[in-house]
Amino acid sequence: FSRFVPHIKARYDYGVLIFILTFSLVSVSGYRVDKILELAHQRLATIIVGGAICMIISIFVCPVWAGADLHNLVAANIEKLASFLEGFGGEFFKFSEDGGSAVVSKDEKSFLQGYKSVLNTKTMEESLANFAWWEPRHGRFRFRHPWKQYLKIGVVARQCAYKFEALNAHINSDIQAPSEFHRKIQEPCTKISTESGKALKELASAIKTMTHPSSAETHIENSKIAVDELKTALKAASVLGKADLLEIIPVVTIASILIDINKCVEEIADSICELSHLAHFKNVESPEKPPQLLHRGTVKPVVDGDHGNGESDGDCA
């Protein structure tokens, strides 16, 4: 009945199952009183020898580490999300010179479908995290490595991927000629998408190299600035109220989803920042600090507000 306890079932289910089988085998053979101890000894020796062979092969002959697989899986999922955002900003808001929208073929959009695999990785992540808990210190992973933090990152990444489903529906739909309102919010929407994608790529790179993700702060700040610009454009459009309502609704929906995605990217950054502290990622001096100051100087309307956000994000450096 110990298998019904969730904690034991999650980590010790296989061991408990082997114990039940061994106990049942010995109990059934109870009529052979003179050989019970010998049978139990043989069964125990078989388990020890088999376990030792598996450990030797898995560690020295053909090492397979669930921790490394989980580490690479989470980083790959973040990269897939980044590819979608960069592709969405570059393709959906790309218009031709004559005022029509650019037609994007299915082949050109194939790289935008990678995020769908992120939606189905929950079971694999939980299984790898459970196996990694049993592994000894190996490679870059120390003893008591925070494997549970990878699961938190995976949860936030899947929440972000679900929001991509709505954006993907707009990509697959027929894109009509852009309205004047569409043109006004094109620049901030493109900036949110591309900067968030760059931030996710930096975060994925930080996980792979096990370094503090300080280089992603610039892109996150730029996406926040673009969100403020987008909100200002939406407020201005609501005051004017000259455009056709049916024409505005799809574009406003996309803008709203992008704002939500920007929040998800910030949550992913916070989770990876927490992982970097728990796992003691190494510090790397970012060569992008001088360009960061120059880039902020180009956005005059929000220079004062940008310094206030720097304190909360600076904890990750």
What are the residue ranges spanned by the domains of the chain?
2-61, 66-316
- pLDDT attached to residue 33: 56
pLDDT of residue 6: 72
- C-alpha distances (whole Å) from 112 to each of 24, 81, 116, 161 are 54, 9, 9, 11
Q: Is 101 helix (H, G, I), strand (E, B) or coil?
A: strand
What six digits make up the tokens of 170?
A: 């707009």
**H helix intervals, the chain:** 6-28, 36-56, 66-91, 122-134, 147-172, 180-209, 217-240, 245-278, 289-297, 303-313
Number of other CB atoms surrounding residue 297 within 10 Å: 9
Residue-level pLDDT at 136: 84
| Residues 6+ positions from 246 with CB-CB distance below 8 Å | none
Domain 66-316, CATH number (from 1.10.720, 1.10.260, 1.20.58, 3.30.70): 1.20.58
If we measure between CA atoms, which residue out of 296, 71, 114 comes closest to residue 206?
Answer: 71
Rg (CA), the chain: 27
pTM, two decimal places: 0.74
Q: What is the mean pLDDT of each run of 10 residues along the chain (317 residues)?
A: 70 76 72 68 84 84 87 95 83 50 49 83 91 84 91 95 85 59 82 93 94 90 92 74 66 88 94 93 63 43 45 51
